[in-house]
Amino acid sequence: MKVWQKLKTDPQLKNNLATRTKVIDAIRLFFKWQKYLEVETPILVNAPSTESNIDFFQSRISFLDQKKHRGFLISSPEFAIKKLLASHPVSMFEITKSFRNHEGVSSTHNHEFTILEWYHVQADYTQVMIDFENLMKFIFGWLTDQLTITYRQQQWSVSGFDELKTIKLSYLGKKIDLTPPWERLSIQEAFQRYADIDEATLLDKIGLIKAAGAKGYRQITNWEEAFDQILLNEIEPHLGQNKPTILYDYPIALGAYAQAKKSDPRYAERFEVFVHGLELGNAFSEITDAKVQADVLDKDANERQLLGKQRLPIDKDFLAAMMMGLPKVSGIAVGVDRLVMLFTDSEKIEDVIMFPVKDMFL
């Protein structure tokens, strides 16, 4: 039986559907209270991001002259929002659909998903850590009717937020304390604590591969595979068990679109948030240098070719926006479906999506 059919007789699904709406309401109210501008950007684009680890849905767009152009469904609204930031440098957020092809079917993945992205202008990733803590506190307060929100003279005001001192919920039999501040753990500390790998070995391209082999990992061909296997199997199971864990300062090779740390350029200003097995968000102090960004896109394109994947077009408008100049900004992508899983105590993503991909295609 498909999820939409189960909805007729399943009270938990009905509750999940109602809670999903409330979570999205809370997200919007939080950012409007914080004076963010909500934006809408396209889902169908002529050039997607070029990250080598993502596979895209491809389509064709045609016009009356019968010319056909290649199009892609976005994996994130990042490039479009940054174009807006280049012309209008104010803090922005968006809730939209995103897509990733060639994904495995699992309890936490769906090929079509809902994403929240926000970009905090004149801030770095440490401020976005605080933003995330406050957003979760706000959602909890909204769901438990502990907040009063008013709108007068084009201003939002909230009462009850500061009085929320303890924020606890149950998720898959585990008591989770969302009360700020959350645990902050650097990648270097995590590898030392949970995998007994010191910093020198972590950052050594050959040393980490050897360490992974000594631990019993097989068919490791490069440093990134060794990093991923150790992170997945030895570190992530320990994260976010009682409080959310902010895992920060990834090696620069895994920085994606993050700036290098000024105090230690071996690392990138990137963090991810984990709660009892759920990875909820991925954040960066964003690259603002156009040449650095162009080099990253070119590196991504070359990596795709090395992996035997299709070479993707470069978004020239995005590079034009970078040339115009981005403000100092930090951004994050958060999985809304996973947030709803957390706040409804749901084990599977199809418990909070009424039309999961596997219902339609498998």
What pLDDT is attached to residue 63? 87
Residue 192 has pLDDT above 80, yes or no: yes
Residue 172 pLDDT class (50, 70, 90 cuts): very high
34 by Cβ neighbours in 10 Å (0-12 / 13-18 / 19+) ranks as middle
Type of residue numbered 64: L
Residue 68 pLDDT class (50, 70, 90 cuts): confident
Q: Are the beta carbons of 13 and 355 closer than 8 angstroms?
A: no
- Mean pLDDT, all residues of the chain: 95
Q: Centre a 10 Å sphere on the Cβ of residue 201 and count the other Cβ atoms it contains.
A: 17
Residue 158 has pLDDT above 90, yes or no: yes
The total number of residues shown for the chain amounts to 362
What pLDDT is attached to residue 178? 97
Residue pLDDT, tens place only, 24-61: 999 999 999 999 999 999 999 999 988 888 999 999 99
The secondary structure element, H or E, covering residue 332 is strand 329-335
What pLDDT is attached to residue 20? 98
Among candidate residues 63, 34, 30, the one with its CA nearest the CA of residue 46: 63
Among candidate residues 88, 125, 129, the one with its CA nearest the CA of residue 258: 125
pTM here? 0.96
What pLDDT is attached to residue 301? 84
Residue pLDDT, tens place only, 300-319: 888 888 888 888 888 999 99
What pLDDT is attached to residue 106? 87
Residue pLDDT, tens place only, 250-301: 999 999 899 999 999 999 999 999 999 899 999 999 999 999 999 999 888 8
What pLDDT is attached to residue 52? 85
What pLDDT is attached to residue 304? 87
Please report the domains of the chain, with CATH numbers, ordered by start residue.
3-181+317-361 (3.30.930.10)
What pLDDT is attached to residue 77? 97
Q: Are the beta carbons of 287 and 296 closer than 8 angstroms?
A: yes
**What is the Cα–Cα distance from 174 to 270, expressed in whole angstroms?**
27
